[in-house]
Amino acid sequence: MGEQPSSVGTRTKKYARDKSVDLVVYTGTYGITTLPNARGVEKELYLYVDENNNNAMPIPKLFWKVVYNPLSQAATVFIGVNNPYITSLKNDYQLCSDVSSKVSWLTWDKSSQKKGFSYACEFADFRKSVPAMPALTVKSLLV
């Protein structure tokens, strides 16, 4: 995910401090990163293959972070792509519609290949793709 996670974390802490609010943060991963083999066929990546040739410890395709203010019931989801080799954000990397332009407190270079592609989503839209995320009462985007 390049430099983006530290940017999101730093800006989230600054937002909480500046607004004097306590935020709840949930983090997780989605999918398994792939890269093409010598024949151009995408293969899933794992950190470990055991002695029986079983894959173990998949390398995540995406990292996500939900930043939630339980008092105002506002949340924003931040998603980072864990593949430094992609040159554009393809559809299979998009879990939800990008609302980054609405999140004024976060400054990042979301379309930088070097820093890692990233985007932000509305919570309800994100949960359509990641139903394992606990349900939260969210009335608005954390902006």
- What's the pLDDT score for residue 58? 97
User: 60 and 93 in contact (C-beta within 8 Å)?
Assistant: no
User: 44 and 55 in contact (C-beta within 8 Å)?
Assistant: yes
Bridge-partner residues for 34, per DSSP?
A: 44
Q: How far apart are CA 99 and CA 104, in angstroms?
A: 10
Query: What range defines the domain where residue 118 resides?
Result: 4-141
Q: How far apart are CA 56 and CA 127, in angstroms?
A: 26
User: 75 and 12 in contact (C-beta within 8 Å)?
Assistant: no
- What's the pLDDT score for residue 119? 94
Task: Please list the alpha-helical segments (H only) found in 32-129.
Answer: 123-129
- What's the pLDDT score for residue 101? 92
Domain count for the chain, please give it.
Answer: 1
User: 22 and 12 in contact (C-beta within 8 Å)?
Assistant: no
Report field, pTM of the whole predicted structure over 0.85: yes
- What's the pLDDT score for residue 1? 45
User: 59 and 71 in contact (C-beta within 8 Å)?
Assistant: no
For each of the chain's 143 residues, which pLDDT tens digit applies?
Answer: 455 556 889 999 999 999 999 999 999 999 999 999 999 999 999 999 999 999 999 999 999 999 999 999 999 999 999 998 988 888 899 999 999 999 989 887 777 777 788 999 999 999 999 999 999 999 999 99
